[in-house]
Amino acid sequence: MNIILVGYGKMGKAIEEIAVKKGHTISLKVDIDNADELNAVNAAKADVAIEFTGPHSAFNNVMKCLELGIPVVCGSTGWLEHYEEAKEYCEVNNRTLVYASNYSIGVNLFFEVNKQLAKLMSQHPDYNVFMEEIHHTQKKDAPSGTAITLAEQILESMPQKKKWVNEFSNDPSVLSILSERIDPAPGTHKIKYTSAIDDIEIIHTAHNRAGFAGGAVLAAEYAAANKGVWSMKDVLGL
């Protein structure tokens, strides 16, 4: 494939390394200094775009790719108030978008474990649940998109929890998410169920960015071959 990288920070460079090893070509690297190069001429040479920037630029980047007719894989978080608009544009105009809060294969398996555990624990009100997430200090949003996904999965299965908050709370109807920013942590997410008798914990710890980058390239391969709006659950067949 010919891939456009929208965002060429640490994640963009990690994606480039894996994509090239898999035989793909990076046809364009778009960053803040050359945003005008994301245009129709360069789009015509590309099979897919992979977007990893930040919460304030992601939606505009995604929409520009879609308007240019490029299938786009977006890994930026913090822009989901606009997700339905992007999804509707894809459906009306026969475009392709893959979005995930986390492209790591391990994290997406962790999502499935989290959902199953939440269903089991919903029958045992003696346990309270809270979450912790740790990322590097360059992470701009808190809680992380991955943490929000995990929290929303828990809320779906546990009616006693009405909402999540990004702080400690003694309110039994609230799911607390504690966020820390410590270098050089690529990402750790912990869900802990605690009672007077015992605790149950599940933890995912990323050791580096390779898992995220590899999953993003896998998603790009999927996006290039499948029209529509997709998630990593679709990409992995979960």
- Which residues are part of the catalytic machinery? 135, 139
Q: What's the CA gap between 148 and 51, in Å, rounded? A: 20
What is the dihedral sign for C-alpha 105, 107, 108, 113?
positive
DSSP output for 107-164: HHHHHHHHHHHHHHHTT-TT-EEEEEEEE-TT--SSS-HHHHHHHHHHHHH-TT--EE
Beta-carbon contacts of residue 92 (< 8 Å; ≥ 6 apart): none
Q: Which residue has the tokens 């992007």?
A: 86
Beta-carbon contacts of residue 120 (< 8 Å; ≥ 6 apart): none
Beta-carbon contacts of residue 140 (< 8 Å; ≥ 6 apart): 54, 55, 78
How many residues appear in the chain? 238
Nearest to 30 by CA among 64, 55, 56: 64
Q: Which residue has the tokens 């990004």?
A: 166
